[in-house]
Structure 1
């Protein structure tokens, strides 16, 4: 899910006034964020990197090729991943945040290897997005079916219909994006490119490191179901990354 995720993010943000996880919440009584800051936060949430997503498809295929003994194919796929990451640098989708501000998994229950000190700002590339039932909502077959239907509309290229399905059913869902640390992943793939000719196992390890660097951000879009006409929408609830989570 790439451009469709971008479109749904735009639809939901426009409808519900949603704010992404990695947009800082102002303390009680603080001044409202500037229009420019709000626009930047919305852009962070609503835009995914097509090239970043493609790069991860290539590196996943490259690992499979290594496993199958097709080293020539793996080498070509790694080169494609490198090119896609290079292009992704200029697609204006990366955002700056500390690793601690993103969730280590979709449920916040596992931790990938550290990418940087918790307070160090790094560039994150958003590569994927999907709708999931909110963790605080009571899971029922009906609600699960609603979210699945919304995701089908999203993948079919109809984000407005996906948003409408959630609105009319009043299902509390999250829009979750997956993001990767751009510099680290670029280095991991470059390491794989150097190792593929002499040590395929180490090349696969480097690609695995890139895959395990994925972190997540989510926004609760419950407010979409209660949204008023333009000018009267209630703000969506913002999910919080856990302060600490157990290691894998």
Structure 2
């Protein structure tokens, strides 16, 4: 990424006016920010959330046996996510929820620091975007839900600064506990109770801004493009 950006700087200075060069640098930087934001996500956390959503859909259909593998996988992946470097410690009342997803009315945020894992994200674009950019955002969000982070980053190359990325984080221990309860209910053939336990995980997701992610959530150390 650094090499590509450096080449852009050199060729831009030779072949383009300063204004066009600055615009190109800005676009390169915005594209880098998209990729960097996605690097904050936990791969295991993303897969665990996909397992949780899959299990809930099966349970909502009244099935239990078919949901058990997804619940087991969710537990294993959440445990792995807890050992990786993408998690971070924070009290819920210190988080800065994104305005697009405020906390539910009456919700009281915890004051004790706990481990949080980034398990998903959402790309938000304005209503005035061109149709092709709206389509790209829709596709990218579908890819993010499926855990296809790199593909989503590529899809968003055409959007750049015209969209905002907000990240879904989940409290690790609380989420593991809910999955364990759901597993017990599922094994006991109580799909409604199991689904309700998984719904608690969805309800307890906190969405934070890209700026918050930059300061609080570790990433994989991708180098930034040169900025002038």
The TM-score range, normalised by the shorter chain, is 0.5 to 0.7
2:200 and 2:55 map into 1 onto residues whose CA distance is 13
Tell me which residue corresponds to 2:133: 146
Tell me which residue corresponds to 1:188: 178
Q: State the number of aligned residues.
A: 179
Cα displacement string for residues 9-48 of structure 1 (whole angstroms, at most 9, x for unaligned residues)? xxx9x936x99xxxxxxxxxxxxxxxxxxxxxxx887321
Cα displacement string for residues 135-167 of structure 1 (whole angstroms, at most 9, x for unaligned residues)? xxxx3142x64254366579573736734x345
2:152 and 2:68 map into 1 onto residues whose CA distance is 36
Cα displacement string for residues 84-116 of structure 1 (whole angstroms, at most 9, x for unaligned residues)? 11111122111122223131x661444288585
Normalising to structure 2: TM-score of the pair?
0.63
Relative to its length, the structure with more helix (as a share) is 2
Tell me which residue corresponds to 2:125: 133
Provide the secondary structure at the position in 2 that maps to 1:89. helix
Tell me which residue corresponds to 1:37: none
Cα displacement string for residues 60-98 of structure 1 (whole angstroms, at most 9, x for unaligned residues)? 121222222321112222111111111111221111222
Does the CA contact (< 8 Å) of 1:98 and 1:122 recur in 2?
A: yes
Does the CA contact (< 8 Å) of 2:166 and 2:209 recur in 1?
A: yes
1:201 Cα shift?
2.0
When residues 57 and 150 of structure 1 are mapped into structure 2, their CA distance, relative to the original with a 3 A threshold, is closer
Tell me which residue corresponds to 2:192: 201
1:108 and 1:94 map into 2 onto residues whose CA distance is 21
When residues 62 and 112 of structure 1 are mapped into structure 2, their CA distance, relative to the original with a 3 A threshold, is farther
Normalising to structure 1: TM-score of the pair?
0.59
1:160 and 1:45 map into 2 onto residues whose CA distance is 11
Using CA pairs below 8 Å that are at least 6 residues apart, which structure has the higher relative contact order?
Answer: 2
Matches within 5 A, 1:95-244: 95-100=88-93, 101-103=95-97, 107-111=100-104, 114=107, 117=110, 119-133=111-125, 139-142=127-130, 145-149=132-136, 152=139, 155=143, 157=151, 159=153, 162-163=156-157, 165-167=158-160, 171=162, 173-198=163-188, 199-219=190-210, 230-232=226-228
Q: Choose the corresponding residue for 1:15, options 29, 40, 44.
A: 29
Tell me, which stretches of 5 or more residues in structure 2 are unaligned?
1-25, 144-149, 212-224
Does the CA contact (< 8 Å) of 1:192 and 1:202 recur in 2?
A: yes
1:230 Cα shift?
2.7
Provide the secondary structure at the position in 2 that maps to 1:185. helix
Does the CA contact (< 8 Å) of 2:63 and 2:191 recur in 1?
A: no
